Amino acid sequence: MDKPRDMVSRLAELGYRLTPQRMLVLAAIENSDGHISAEEIYVQVVAKYPHVNISTVYRTLDLLTRLGLVTETDLGGGRVRYHPAAKGHHHHLICQQCGEIIDLEESTLSPLKKTLLQEYQFTADLRHLGIFGLCQKCRQ
Amino acid sequence: MDKPRDMVSRLAELGYRLTPQRMLVLAAIENSDGHISAEEIYVQVVAKYPHVNISTVYRTLDLLTRLGLVTETDLGGGRVRYHPAAKGHHHHLICQQCGEIIDLEESTLSPLKKTLLQEYQFTADLRHLGIFGLCQKCRQ
DNA sequence: TTTACTGCAAATCTTTTGCATCAAC
DNA sequence: GTTGATGCAAAAGATTTGCAGTAAA
């Protein structure tokens, strides 16, 4: 449903040029599990189009973020990760031992969001949430 | 109650040297509101002891973290923040507009922690949590 | 006196930027 | 042909590291 085509046509609609570099960045994000970093995108893109520069990846990510087509998540560790906005928000449980990233359903956080609003008058933007801890396997 | 003295004596107990640089880093962390960055610590330390180098601040923070005397929180934005472990865990609501950091009571997150354990078998370490959004003032 | 700790400079890592060239439209 | 997009190289910001000198114990 949320094929790169959608982001591509959105870019075209808005008058942005459809360069091969952009197509490849879009494809990498779309085919990822939703937790891809700029470096990882770069590696995928270079594999098919050896001349791209990583600054182009960053510029494309910046553009897509500004247009609201992708969402940035800073899970700490000094690396920002990206996923397609059209796939909907999701949250992340990050295992501090093995590094596994588990997706969390949005509904799990609804009660928290409500509490923050009622008790702290704070409108939480939970798109950017990462929760650290230990997964089942590593807990033992 | 949790005066730098406690961390100082712990360091001494463990055989670490009590240098003026370390004392000043400890004091800065202790006197902070609990969301201090390495750079901010450095500025405070330099004011009293002009020759310190920021790498000493980082090395001290690394030591204190490894000893469990301070806790690191990565609130995103490429800057890690520190607070004394003895002051207990607390969580942060960060306003994306004005940058205000609001402390959150630990109890607010207890229901979430329980849900994550029951439904995802994930043991959340909520010491490292930052929630982004908009504070009351900026919401309007 | 011993050796852990420090200062300094240089390196690392991620991300950003200036600028001349290039290609999508 | 225009002008936005790219490649390259250099910069920027946070953090780390190698090394020789210094000071805490």
Domain regions of chain A by residue span: 5-87, 90-139
- Residue A34 to residue B120: CA distance in whole angstroms: 19
> Crossing angle of helices B38-48/B20-31, nearest 10°?
120
pTM of the model: 0.81
**CA pseudo-torsion sign A119, B100, B77, B64:** negative
B96 touches chain A (CB under 8 A): yes
Contact of B17 with chain A, judged by CB distance below 8 Å, is answered with: no
- A45-97 pLDDT, tens digit per residue, is 999 999 999 999 999 999 999 999 998 887 666 678 898 988 877 777 877 66
CA distances from A27 to A4, A8, A85, A88, B54 (A): 6, 10, 14, 17, 42
Q: What is the CATH number of domain A5-87?
A: 1.10.10.10
pLDDT in tens, B82-130: 989 888 777 778 776 676 778 888 888 999 999 999 999 999 887 667 7
pLDDT of A13 above 90: yes
| Domain spanning A90-139, CATH architecture | 2-Layer Sandwich (3.30)
Would you state the structure tokens that stand for residue A55, as one six-digit string?
Answer: 């600054």
Beta strands B101-104; B70-74: pairing state: unpaired
Q: Which of A122, A125, A131 sits opposite B129 (nearest CB)?
A: A131
Give the CA-to-C1' distance from A49 to D7 in angstroms: 13
- Chain B CB within 8 Å of residue A122 CB: yes
Instruction: Give the count of beta carbons closer than 10 Å to the beta carbon of residue A106.
Output: 14
The fraction of chain A above a pLDDT of 70, given in percent, is 89
The arithmetic mean of pLDDT across residues A98-109, rounded, is: 81
Contact B109 A112 (CB under 8 A): yes
Between CA A70 and CA A115 the distance in angstroms is 28
Query: Near strand D (CB < 7 A), which residues?
Result: A 16-17, 19, 21-22, 49, 51-53, 55-56, 59-60, 78; B 12, 17-20, 37-39, 54-55, 58-59, 62, 78-80
